[in-house]
Chains A and B, each alone.
Chain A
């Protein structure tokens, strides 16, 4: 099963909003509300930012939000801050009882 498709990189200035897309198929993203998003800083383990398409875990800033339309999920970060610069990964449950990840998006805060 191929990885979910994410843009390799996005960038934005402090205070701006950016959106990262995550495209799959009806067998994964489109078929289940089990999309999650992770933030990873260099040398660190990934950190859960969004679960179940749009649920924000306790402790995660409300500047992070998630959504889904059809086979594409999105992560939006509003009011960009320097600390948001990191790699972001989406993941989804699939119809063969496994989990698949996106290839990752590098966010640069200009």
Chain B
């Protein structure tokens, strides 16, 4: 059974970088059939897919247009985890952030991490 465990700070100052990590058990970040995603949820924006990283003989990334200039999702193979970095945050980036697995590249998500509330405030 796959389990995702998120970690990272819950408070980030405006203009700084939001950084979260998602630890994987029961699967491999380097799997050739899986994609690893970050999704956020806020009252104002609802559920918003941010991007994904996946391995198909080499590493690929896809990012949402809304955050493409500010976001980086990286695999960390030695620790079997992946990370999210979102630069130049503003209060509008305040949300619950989730990591999620797409098991077959079918663009559905199962399971999800437990969620991390990240507040952007000075």
What residues of A have a CB within 8 angstroms of the CB of B62 in the complex?
A: 97-98
User: Which B-chain residue is minimally distant from A48 (CB atoms)?
Assistant: B110
What residues of B have a CB within 8 angstroms of the CB of A46 in the complex?
A: 47, 98, 109, 112
For residue B107, CB closer than 8 A to chain A, the reply is: yes
B108 and A91: CB pair below 8 A?
yes
B68 to chain A, nearest CB (A): 10
What total of chain B residues lie within 8 Å of the partner, measured CB to CB?
A: 20
A interface bracket (residues with beta carbon within 8 Å of B): 20 to 34
CA gap between A89 and B108 in the complex, in Å: 12
B2 to chain A, nearest CB (A): 12
CA gap between A93 and B52 in the complex, in Å: 13
For residue B55, CB closer than 8 A to chain A, the reply is: no
**Contact residues of A with B, CB < 8 Å?**
1, 3, 32, 34, 36, 38, 45-48, 51-52, 57, 89, 91-93, 96-104
